[in-house]
Amino acid sequence: MSGDWSAWRDARLRATTAPHGTASLALTAWLGPEAEQIPGLPGRWRLEADGPIVGDDFPADAGVDGGELRLEPGQEHAFGDVIARRFDRDGTVALRVIDPSAPSRTGILAIDAFDYDPAWVVSGAFAPAAPAESVEVTAVDGRTSVAAVGGTIALELPTGPAELTVTRNAAGRLSAVFSDGSSNVDVYRFRFIDVPEPVDGVATVDFTRAFLPPCAFSDEYVCPTPLPGNRWSVRVEAGEKNVVRAE
């Protein structure tokens, strides 16, 4: 299993440091009806009342046919190596600049992690949430949104008991955001964990694959923070710890 874990670690580093990977987010610019210049992109950009992002006033060498570019949800456009990507969040819209030369990417040396320890693959009783149960989640910028609750898992960690509340994403998969006694000490302030679907009322949580949120790689992300019940005093000495950057 440690070999699989090493392969997972290598894949994480490749994905986050790829030219257009997680660490390449240089800017998240929230848009309104007034056209504005976005650092790192040509032209001027605005959000139209009916929803599309519109870019215009491009220089001739930008390669935009017709002089105007429209981005609907899920769309992006490349200007050479730099990508302009639309980002939608609860009725607000931003333009993200994905740039391989962003300092958030180029300065990364490694992702530090605890040594592999199978004791941190922990199973516990799963209590499913009531149908349509939801919870309010606060992002790092203070904005709140609503997420579907999947249930809670009663865990006996190597360092003590804890209860993990998991949410379901749009695809129906379970995951959680948690902080612990190592957070803001020798580990980033919180981490993410994916949880397989419980079997016969038992859920297994592999904390050796707890991973850093995107905002650990770039301050331009608006990651969700842990629910109050997922902020533990016990330490979770497994999984990723911090991004290692060149000084």
Position 146 confidence tier, pLDDT thresholds 50, 70, 90:
very high
Where in the chain are the domains? 22-99, 112-245
DSSP state of 232: -
DSSP state of 51: S
Position 1 confidence tier, pLDDT thresholds 50, 70, 90:
low
Q: What is the pLDDT of residues 18-72, one digit of tens each?
A: 999 999 999 999 999 999 999 999 999 999 987 999 999 999 898 887 789 999 9
DSSP state of 238: -
Residues 100 and 217: their CA atoms lie apart, in Å, by 13
- Type of residue found at 143: R
Q: What pLDDT does 128 receive?
A: 97
The residue with tokens 């992006």 is 76
Q: What pLDDT does 201 receive?
A: 97
Q: What pLDDT does 50 receive?
A: 78
Q: What is the mean pLDDT of residues 100-120?
A: 97
Other C-beta atoms lying within 10 Å of the C-beta of residue 111? 20
Q: Are 83 and 101 in contact (CB under 8 A)?
A: no
Token reading at 233 = 């005093």
Give, for 55, the enclosing helix (H) or strand (E): strand 53-56
Residues 152 and 128: their CA atoms lie apart, in Å, by 7
Residues 150 and 156: their CA atoms lie apart, in Å, by 20
Q: How far is CA 23 from CA 123, 201, 216, 219, in A?
A: 32, 37, 9, 10
For the entire predicted model, the pTM comes to 0.95
Q: What pLDDT does 66 receive?
A: 74
Residues 18 and 108: their CA atoms lie apart, in Å, by 11
- Type of residue found at 112: D
| Beta strand 92-98 pairing with 25-30 | antiparallel
Angle at 189 between CA 184 and CA 195, to 5 degrees: 135
Q: For the chain, count helices (H), then strands (E).
A: 2, 16
Residues 223 and 47: their CA atoms lie apart, in Å, by 23
Q: Are 120 and 238 in contact (CB under 8 A)?
A: yes
Residues 87 and 89: their CA atoms lie apart, in Å, by 7
Position 243 confidence tier, pLDDT thresholds 50, 70, 90:
very high
Return the half-sphere exposure (C-beta side, CA atoms, 13 A cut-off) of residue 118: 4
